[in-house]
Structure 1
Amino acid sequence: MIDLPRIVSFENILFYFFSGLLGGTIFGIKYFYRVVARGYWAQDRRYWRLFSPWISSCISLVIGCMVITGYISSNQSPSTATGVCIGFIAGYFADEAVGKMSEVANALFGSSSKVK
């Protein structure tokens, strides 16, 4: 039988994932109506529109796991609403989140761009 803390943790992970999906979808819709309004719409961006929300949800999932494990800490007590907020923000700003994670990875592991 699965104990209650594991169920709660799994629920939190799902909140991060789906709120990130929501954030990425909202970002894609916002981008879409802006480019249509400006006359820049191109049908060749079909794959970007399809995959962008899912990338955002995966980024939110990873950031959510970082919060749950304590790798990223805050003074707020963890709650469902906090998870949804962090997941949505991470999904909406997934491009910036990936850039920041790249900076963290370079600080932890070093840069792979060596001059040959």
Structure 2
Amino acid sequence: MGLQKESQFRATGGNGSEANSAEVGHQHIEELNDDRAIGDWKSRFCGAAWRQIIAELLYLVVLLSLGTLALLDAAIAPALPHEGGNAYVSTLLGIKINPDALKWIALWVAGLLGGTVFALKWLYHSVGKGLWNRDRILWRLIVPFNSATVSIFTGFLFSSGAVPFLKNEALDTPLMTLAFGFIFGYFSDNILAALQNLAQKIFGTLGQSD
């Protein structure tokens, strides 16, 4: 009898952890099935909605493909001697790009890719959970380019030395430039929110009395 009680005690972790684990597991299953009942496979959206969803998906996939193609072009581009380093000749455009310009172009493209991946993630999340609506199309059209712009100007901010915890040389290597550019683009909303909070602390808010 004592052994049976001890085994039950261990099974529950001594504090009801079995029930807690079951509850957490149930919540995890609900998250995976998009709050649908088992066997509920029908789409929430009509044909007109799906046409726009597919159009948004194709737009983002094209941007993702073009950005990836631009990175591949830079990777295979031949290098030519140039003052201060090697210049690169784009195999797609046939133009010569100096190293300084290439760094900022790479940062912009990486930011575009980060914003595109972010928009793609929210597209399939919103469709799966039934949160998609037609008015979000402007958000999906603008976010990749907004992210690219935030990425390059955040790079300017870091390279200027205005951010004390990051060295000016952080963007000097191609891999670091691409990595930071993608992160800046993916989290562009967070960067803009942080800048807004900083501006409010420094300059105050509209309508604030002197």
TM-score, scaled to structure 2:
0.49
- 1:29 aligned to 108, 120, 124, which one? 120
Identify if the C-alpha distance between structure 1 residues 8 and 103 changes in structure 2 by more than 3 Å, giving closer, same or farther.
Answer: farther
Corresponding letter in the other structure for 1:36: V
Superposed displacement of residue 3, structure 1: 4.2
Consecutive unaligned residues in structure 1, runs of 5 or more:
none
- Kindly indicate whether structure 1 or structure 2 has the higher relative contact order, using CA contacts under 8 Å at least 6 residues apart: 1
Corresponding letter in the other structure for 2:130: G
Q: What's the counterpart of residue 111 of structure 1?
A: 204
Consecutive unaligned residues in structure 2, runs of 5 or more:
1-81, 86-96
Superposed displacement of residue 19, structure 1: 0.5
Structure holding more strand per residue: 2
Q: Deviations over 1:63-89 (max 9, x none)?
A: 111222222352564311111111111
Structure holding more helix per residue: 1
Q: Which has the higher Rg, Structure 1 or Structure 2?
A: 2
Q: Deviations over 1:36-56 (max 9, x none)?
A: 111111122111110011100
RMSD: 2.3
Count of aligned residue pairs for this structure pair: 114
TM-score, scaled to structure 1:
0.84
Task: Determine the C-alpha separation between the residues in 1 that align with 2:101 and 2:199.
Answer: 26
What pairs up with 1:1-116 in 2 under 5 angstroms?
Answer: 3-4=83-84, 7-73=98-164, 74-75=166-167, 77=170, 78-107=172-201, 109-113=202-206, 114-115=208-209
